[in-house]
Structure 1
Amino acid sequence: MSGLAFPGAVLFDVDGTLVDTPAGMAVVLRTVVEEHGRVVDEDRLRRTIGRPLTASFGTLLDLPADDPEVARAADRARQLFTELVIPSAGELVFPGIPALLAELREHGRPLAVVTSKVRRSAVELLEAAGLLAAFDTLSCHDMVEFGKPHPDLALLAADALGVPPDRCAVVGDAIDDVLMARAAGMDCLGVTTGVASAAELVAAGAREVLADVPALREIILRIPAPFGSHQG
């Protein structure tokens, strides 16, 4: 990204990017799978974290995503997430994230959330984490026809912000975040604070992969170009 003015809008994934929820989500998924009488494959479980719950449980329960048992499992997971993870959401925000979001706003960067959570769950988590007010718009799984890795969520956010897709960048921790960004014609920065490795994110097409928030901040603010300027 050196030599380029950073895109005007920044679209953030939530779980594993803003908030350290993957470990808690793993507990939730494991509990629900066991309640449904299935044996948990830990590697398989880990790879479903960050996906829509119906997709995760379709995989973990070996059922079609539209099976009623999958819907019940997803509802149960949301209940457990509220009970087990939400109370500690403020403590799970990655160090430096609130300051980074505030600094981006000071620089006039439009900010959005792009998440595989349904809107109700996204608002619940972001509000509990103290991050909701930092964002101009939320793009959530139940607001589009196709979720990640399709481009719909990212394009919905760009449209809501009034920013062309090629002036947006996605920040995310999962392969699907990168694939979504590429499909939407957006740049992508990967972070290794969540579920995917640096090698996986690079292979998916992330422009750069950062290990922590300070490194992410350095990239985003490397060239403090005002919104609207672009050098290619």
Structure 2
Amino acid sequence: MSADDRAVLFDVDGTLVDTPGGMLGVLRAVLEESGHAVADDLVRRTIGRPLAASFAGLLFLPEDHPDVAHAVTRARALFTETVIPSAADLVFPGIPELLAELRAQGRPLAVVTSKVRPSAVELLGAAGLLDAFDTLSCHGMADRGKPHADLALLAAGALGVPPRRCVVVGDAVDDVRMASAAGMDACGVDFGVATRAELVAAGASRVVGSVAELHDAVAPRRLHTSDR
């Protein structure tokens, strides 16, 4: 592979689909139903993590506590009811075209997400993006989730691409840390959850502020004879 033929491993929420706002509403509603008032900025910081980890931190309970399990079940139901119906409208403009260009280039593509597989399939299917990917690497499919390397390495193995020939695209600090742990490059996007400064501090080699910039970073236009 040449420098622009690397496999691309995408996060989902805040990277492909603008779901953080909807997820914030879901988390807030579940917390309110359980009698807990938590500041929005604290809730937002948990978006992109596995739901059990998010609720455990917000409720100050262990992940295996029954109240956490109930909150996770309720959140998934609310997400299906309130966010999934509008998933196609939440896809960041330019993402379908970017994925199509990468496919046309023959690039191996994967999703690496903290969602469990049924939830990832549900969202990507509703968003019209599911068929763009060769493999999905989801929470629970490896021993450890983000920011550990396991899910990224699982995706690389499924694609048949060595880690050094992969780039992770994500909006969260844990995406960047996962990439670093796996020996992969990381391209951060600052239109999701984390700020540019946070992504750079985590180790992103590049941070982009739009899908157009992301296109230039991971799918540069190839020169043809007529272009020279």
Aligned-partner SS, 1:43: helix
Cα drift, residue 6 of structure 1:
3.0
Report the Cα distance in structure 1 between the residues aligned to 2:41 and 2:191, rounded to whole angstroms.
17
1:223: Cα distance to partner? 6.7
TM superposition shift of 1:213: 0.5
Give per-residue Cα distances to partners, 1:81-116, cap 9 Å, x unaligned: 000000000000000000000000110100000000
Q: Give the paired residue count.
A: 222
Output the aligned Cα RMSD. Answer: 1.2
Deviation at 1:36, TM superposition (A): 1.0
Q: What secondary structure sits across from 1:117 in the alignment?
A: strand
Cα distance in 2 for partners of 1:70, 1:125 equals 22
CA separation in 2, counterparts of 1:105 and 1:91?
A: 22
Q: In the alignment, which residue of structure 2 is the partner of 1:199?
A: 197
* Aligned pairs for 1:12-23 within 5 A: 12-23=10-21
Superposition TM-score, scaled by structure 1 size? 0.93
Distance 1:161 1:224 in 2: 23
Match of 2:210 among 187, 209, 212: 212
Q: Distance in 2 between matches of 1:224 and 1:118?
A: 36
- The counterpart of 1:150, out of the listed 128, 148, 172, is 148
Whether the 8 Å contact between 1:107 and 1:224 is mirrored in structure 2 is: no
Letter in 2 for 1:166: R
| Match status 1:88 vs 2:93 | no
User: How far apart, CA to CA, are the structure 1 residues paired with 2:104 and 2:211?
Assistant: 17
Paired residue secondary structure (2:207): strand
Q: Structure 1 segments of 4 or more deviating over 6 A?
A: none
The match for 2:46 is 48
1:5 aligned residue = 3
CA distance in 1, matches of 2:9, 2:95: 14
Worse-matched range after superposition: 38-47 or 88-97: 38-47
Residue 230 (structure 1) aligns with = none
Q: How does 1:1-232 map to 2 (within 5 A)?
A: 5-6=3-4, 8-222=6-220, 224=222
Deviation of 1:56 (Å): 0.3
Contact 2:23 2:47 in 1 (8 A): yes
The unaligned stretches of length 5 or more in structure 1 are 226-232
TM-score by length of 2: 0.95
Q: Distance in 1 between matches of 2:27 and 2:4?
A: 37
Distance 1:211 1:128 in 2: 25
CA distance in 2, matches of 1:198, 1:56: 22
Aligned residue in 2 for 1:229? none
Does the CA-based 8 Å contact 2:101-2:219 persist in structure 1? no
Shift in Å, 1:65: 1.2
Tell me if structure 2 keeps the 8 A contact 1:7–1:166. no
Cα distance, 1:8 vs structure 2: 1.7
Deviation at 1:185, TM superposition (A): 0.3
Q: Tell me by how many angstroms 1:119 deviates.
A: 0.2
Write the letter of the residue equivalent to 2:68: V
Q: Unaligned regions of 5+ residues in structure 2, if any?
A: 224-228
- Return the offset for 1:43: 1.6
Aligned to 2:226: none
Higher relative contact order at CA 8 Å, sep ≥6: structure 1 or structure 2? Answer: 1
Identity of aligned residues (%): 69
Indicate if the aligned counterparts of 1:29 and 1:45 stay in contact, CA closer than 8 A. yes
Is the partner of 1:188 in helix, strand or coil? strand
